Amino acid sequence: MKRSHALAMPALGMALLCLPLGAGAQETETDPDTGLIKASGWETVRNNCTACHSANLVTQNSGTRNHWENLIRWMQETQGLWKFEAETEETILDYLAEYYGPKEDTRRPALPRTLMPDNPYPTVADAD
Ligand code: HEC
């Protein structure tokens, strides 16, 4: 049994080494100006998402399509972001969900307020 064990370890090592290569082969060229991944739709995102703030804000964020849609609605309601043509919005959301999707290796996002238990403590909002 010792023998098969000794054989298995290098094989596992090889498999692990190949993983990053496999992922990298999917070609992730980034735009030097914005840092956005150059893939279908990236120019639409650049044109619509870097006027008010740095693209870093976009590239450092990540989440589901729903997360991105909520962010866009929030910016539209409170930050003066314009409304998009349905097609443009699709392109933007497709791109963000695909290339800036949820990170699997980080802490899970906070639960939405509606899924949280009631706060048992008095808050400022309850004061009056
Ligand atoms: C009309 C101006 C405007 C445009 C255009 C705009 N944003 Fe924003 N965005 C803001 C403002 C203002 C903030 C808040 C900045 C801050 O907190 O410093 C913000 C914040 C963000 C954040 C950070 C949110 C957080 O939780 O901290 C992300 C991500 C983001 N925007 C993505 C986008 C994307 C994607 C687009 C394109 C669809 C976009 N923005 C276009 C105004 C804009």
pLDDT in tens, 2-27: 555 555 555 655 555 555 554 445 56
CA of 72 to the centre of ligand 1 (A): 8
pLDDT band at 74 (very low <50, low <70, confident <90, very high): very high
User: Hey, whose CA ends up nearest to atom 21 of ligand 1?
Assistant: 57
The CATH code of domain 30-106 reads 1.10.760.10
Atom of ligand 1 at shortest range from CA of 78: 12
Burial class (CB in 10 A: 0-12, 13-18, 19+), 38: middle
Which amino acid, 114?
T
Write down the pTM of the prediction.
0.72
Region 29-52: what's the mean pLDDT? 97
The token pair at 9 is 């370890």
